[in-house]
């Protein structure tokens, strides 16, 4: 799968697409759309058709997800990291305040978040197998299951047996971001640490599904490299995993580079809101059943617009520091957020758009 994704991505010339190619792609439904059509929707030629693409993406979203927008929030339980990644605030070389929550503190944070009405939680750590062991994360998942109907994890890639441990502890969903699919760029921005091993990260979603997880998330950090190629490869990766594991719930996240602690030069390169919307709509038309998350890396106005077009999940009441929901923060944030609205404020906005906020989309029976 890795060779196939990289080979097909390398073979795409986005500047070679024409307006006719985009019109042809827009004529097709999800049963007939091809990988080449998907590339056309990501091409510069498609930027002139953004309104039309967005209208079609909105129709496809309503067909599959109705008027519902799901809410969740992340909880950072540790920020120790063994990786030296040049773009990340958790970089092991950065002199930031490090910390991890005790099990008592994790439960207090979860109880505080649950009181807002949210029923979906995403647990996050830095990539450190000692400070954030599998056992530590599993215990956090067990506690989270007491308060939330859906528990997602965004931690370091694991073996399938370790994912099974987390699944049995209560985790439903695993998100792993490849950051960039360009192997040369990947090597350049991951200077040292376990994250430097590109193939092991690439196959993490498969190992998670083999470990029993019901859903997996994909994403690239848009702006690290050629964003069109990274978005294209992200979609292909998800597409081939979905074909191999048709029972899996697949979702996309679309993070752009954001300013980080200790380095205010880290910012998106050429990925503006129009390009981000184009990418999200292309995901929707290529894989209409996939969930699409929009995080607080983006501003309130953009987030308001995309949940009315193609995004199906939105974070609310977010803090990217370790702790901070119930008491003082124990560790510095990974990146600077752009939308600090509370859960109630997000719910009110969703309803004002004629949409319905949902605290959960999954029930155990």
Evaluate whether residue 16 is within a structural domain: no
Tokens (6 digits) for 231: 């978005």
The pLDDT value recorded for residue 325 is 77
How much is the pLDDT for 266?
A: 61
Strands 173-175 and 150-154: parallel
**111 in any annotated domain:** yes
Q: Distance (Å, rounded) from C-alpha 218 to C-alpha 179?
A: 10
Q: Measure the CA angle with vertex 68, ends 146 and 339; round to 5°.
A: 75
- Residue 187 CB: number of other CB atoms within 10 A? 12
| Residue pair 190/247 in contact by the 8 Å Cβ criterion | no
Asked if residue 255 belongs to a domain, the reply is: yes
Residue 4 within any structural domain of the chain: no
Overall domain count for the chain: 1
346 belongs to a structural domain: yes
Helix, strand or coil, per DSSP, at residue 273:
helix
Judge whether 242 lies within some domain: yes
Per-residue pLDDT of the chain (365 residues; tens, 9 = 90+): 999 999 999 999 999 999 999 999 999 998 999 999 999 999 999 999 999 999 999 999 999 999 999 999 999 999 999 999 988 888 899 888 899 999 999 999 999 999 999 999 999 999 999 999 999 999 999 999 999 999 999 999 999 999 999 999 999 999 999 999 999 999 999 999 999 999 999 999 999 999 999 999 999 999 889 999 999 999 999 999 999 999 999 999 999 887 665 555 566 657 899 999 999 999 999 999 999 999 888 999 999 999 999 999 999 998 878 887 767 776 666 667 788 899 999 999 999 999 999 998 887 77
Structural domain containing residue 277: 50-358
Measured CA to CA, the distance from residue 94 to residue 308 in angstroms comes to: 38
Cβ neighbors of 326 (< 8 A, separation 6 or more) are 108, 109, 111, 112
Is 198 part of a structural domain of the chain? yes
| DSSP annotation of 86 | T
- At residue 122, the pLDDT reads 97
CATH of residue 71's domain is 3.20.20.70
Residue 181 CB neighbour total at 10 angstroms: 26
Alpha helices in the chain (DSSP H): 2-10, 19-27, 35-42, 50-65, 103-114, 134-147, 160-169, 183-189, 198-202, 204-210, 227-244, 273-286, 300-306, 343-352
Backbone φ/ψ region at 230: left (φ over 0), alpha (ψ -120 to 50), beta = alpha
């Amino acid at each position: 799968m890795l060779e196939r994704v990289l080979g097909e991505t390398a073979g795409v010339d986005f500047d070679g697409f024409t307006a006719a190619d985009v019109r042809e792609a827009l004529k097709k439904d999800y049963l007939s759309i091809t990988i080449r059509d998907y590339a056309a929707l990501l091409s510069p030629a498609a930027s002139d058709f953004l309104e039309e693409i967005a209208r079609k993406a909105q129709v496809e979203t309503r067909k599959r997800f109705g008027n519902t927008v799901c809410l969740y929030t992340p909880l950072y339980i540790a920020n120790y990291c063994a990786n030296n990644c040049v773009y990340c605030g958790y970089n092991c070389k950065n002199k930031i305040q490090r910390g991890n929550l005790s099990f008592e503190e994790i439960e207090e944070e979860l109880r505080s978040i649950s009181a807002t009405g949210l029923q979906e939680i995403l647990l996050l750590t830095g990539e450190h197998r000692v400070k954030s062991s599998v056992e530590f994360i599993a215990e956090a998942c067990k506690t989270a299951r007491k308060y939330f109907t859906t528990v997602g994890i965004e931690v370091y890639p694991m073996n399938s047996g370790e994912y099974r441990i987390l699944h049995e502890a209560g985790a439903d969903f695993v998100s792993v971001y490849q950051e960039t699919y360009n192997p040369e760029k990947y090597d350049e921005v991951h200077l040292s640490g376990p994250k430097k091993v590109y193939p092991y990260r690439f196959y993490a979603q498969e190992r998670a599904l083999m470990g029993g997880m019901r859903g997996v998330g994909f994403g690239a950090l848009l702006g690290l490299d050629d964003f069109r190629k990274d978005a294209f490869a992200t979609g292909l990766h998800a597409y081939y995993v979905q074909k191999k594991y048709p029972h899996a719930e697949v979702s996309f996240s679309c993070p752009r580079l954001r300013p980080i602690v200790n380095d205010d030069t880290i910012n998106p390169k050429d990925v503006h809101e129009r390009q981000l919307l184009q990418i999200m709509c292309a995901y929707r038309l290529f894989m209409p059943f996939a969930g699409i998350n929009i995080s607080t890396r983006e501003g309130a106005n953009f987030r308001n617009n995309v949940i009315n077009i193609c995004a199906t999940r939105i974070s609310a009441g977010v803090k990217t520091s370790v702790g901070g929901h119930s008491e003082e923060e124990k560790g510095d944030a990974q990146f600077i957020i752009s939308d600090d609205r509370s859960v109630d404020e997000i719910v009110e906005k969703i309803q004002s758009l004629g949409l319905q906020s949902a605290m959960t989309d999954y029930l155990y029976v």
